[in-house]
Amino acid sequence: MEPVIRNVEGASNPILGTSDGVPNYVMLYVQHEPGASSAHHTHAWEHQAFIVEGSGILWVDGKEYPIKTGDAVLVPPGSEHHFTNTGDVMLSRVTVNPLSSVGGGG
């Protein structure tokens, strides 16, 4: 298998997924405008996020956690959560989820 290199510009999520032959995890690139939030949701699997730019709040099970550029985040499995941009620049994050998050595996 050859490496896969994909630039985020013009790509859709997942940036790296089953069509690329990934065996275990998919990668997403997500951006939130100032004041915007991701959907409030829960899922059985964990996911990890790296904050590339901006600042905000990670809301997990009723508690708020500040996040900022350079933070690595683990969202526990089964937790209710969402990301909110509380800053005045784009909140950008790279998220890694298990293959099962897109219906492509166990």
76 contacts: CB under 8 Å, gap ≥ 6:
46, 60
Domains and CATH numbers, the chain: 26-100 (2.60.120.10)
In whole angstroms, what separates CA 40 from the centre of its chain? 13
Supply the pTM of this predicted model.
0.90
| Structure confidence by residue, pLDDT tens digits, 56-101 | 999 999 999 999 999 999 999 999 999 999 999 999 999 999 998 8
